Amino acid sequence: MILNSCSMSPQPLSPHNFRDLFDSVEAFLFDCDGVIWKGDELIDGVPQTLDMLRAKGKKLVFVTNNSWKSRSQYADKFRSLGISVSQDEIFSSSFAAAMYLKVNNFPSQNKVYVIGGEGILEELQLAGITAFGGPDDANKTIDLKQNCFVEHDKSVGAVVVGIDPNINYYKLQYGTLCIRENPGCLFIATNRDAVGHMTALQEWPGAGCMVAAICGSTQKEPVVVGKPSTFMMEFLLKK
């Protein structure tokens, strides 16, 4: 994706107008999974392309819907692949979830329950928001006996759902209870992608699968903060 400083009507790209278009663009936005890398393998030509754009003075922003990692963890992954990227150049959906709550003045006395990875928890913590769940609930189970009853925290004011390879019935029930029974509890989805490039060899079920489960059990639609939401695009433009 490219952003330029002026409004331009769409036009076919050709060798004749490429230079004018390239020169008019100030920033390039890149997805990560399937664009920069697949799994832990760098895609051919990426380092050379990024080096060329930086040499031309272009601003680079890396935008990923994968909420499993935080921005700092993604910066580490870039470095492990031999690419130098600062945390400020990374915009993950885990960060987007934290920023959505922050800019909307999420009450300090409320908590967030996370169905997802450590990345969401870390970004929420950096934003000064109390959160729990995520990997800590990976091994929790439910024994569906007649008297089975799951207690939930009444101070939870938002449930954030992202990609979660450790999804289980306990997490689904806990998130459902918070959304259905806590007055005003927000339902936030990092994204609704059906599949993702989690490894180089296969596509895998994406965060949209986890989000769909909570949609079904609560009969509610989430606020989506990742691509292609207006929140993410507006936040990026302000930066």
pLDDT tens for 28-66 read 999 998 899 988 899 999 999 999 999 999 999 999 999
Question: Looking only at Cα atoms, what is the longest distance across the chain?
Answer: 73
The CA radius of gyration of the chain, in Å to the nearest whole number, is 20
What are the Cα distances from residue 145, in Å, to 20, 37, 53, 163?
68, 45, 60, 29
Please tell me the predicted confidence (pLDDT) of residue 5: 47
Give the rounded distance of the alpha carbon of 203 from its chain centre.
17
Q: What value does the mean pLDDT take over residues 146-167?
A: 96
Q: pLDDT for 161-186, tens place per residue?
A: 999 999 999 999 999 999 999 999 99
The Cβ of residue 109 has, within 10 Å, a number of other Cβ atoms equal to 8
Mean pLDDT of the chain: 92
Which domains, ranges and CATH numbers included, belong to the chain?
A: 17-93+230-238 (3.40.50.1000), 97-224 (3.40.50.1000)
Catalytic site residues?
26
Cis peptide before 12 (omega within 30 of 0): no
Q: What is the Cα–Cα distance from 106 to 132, expressed in whole angstroms?
A: 16
3-state secondary structure of 133: strand
The Cβ of residue 174 has, within 10 Å, a number of other Cβ atoms equal to 24
Q: Yes or no: say if 111 and 156 are a contact pair by the CB < 8 Å rule.
A: yes
Higher pLDDT, 203 or 199: 203
Q: pLDDT for 92-141, tens place per residue?
A: 999 999 999 999 999 999 999 999 999 999 999 999 999 999 999 999 99
- Would the pTM of this model clear 0.85, i.e. be above it? yes
Query: If you ran DSSP here, which 8-state letter would residue 162 be given?
Result: -
Please tell me the predicted confidence (pLDDT) of residue 160: 99
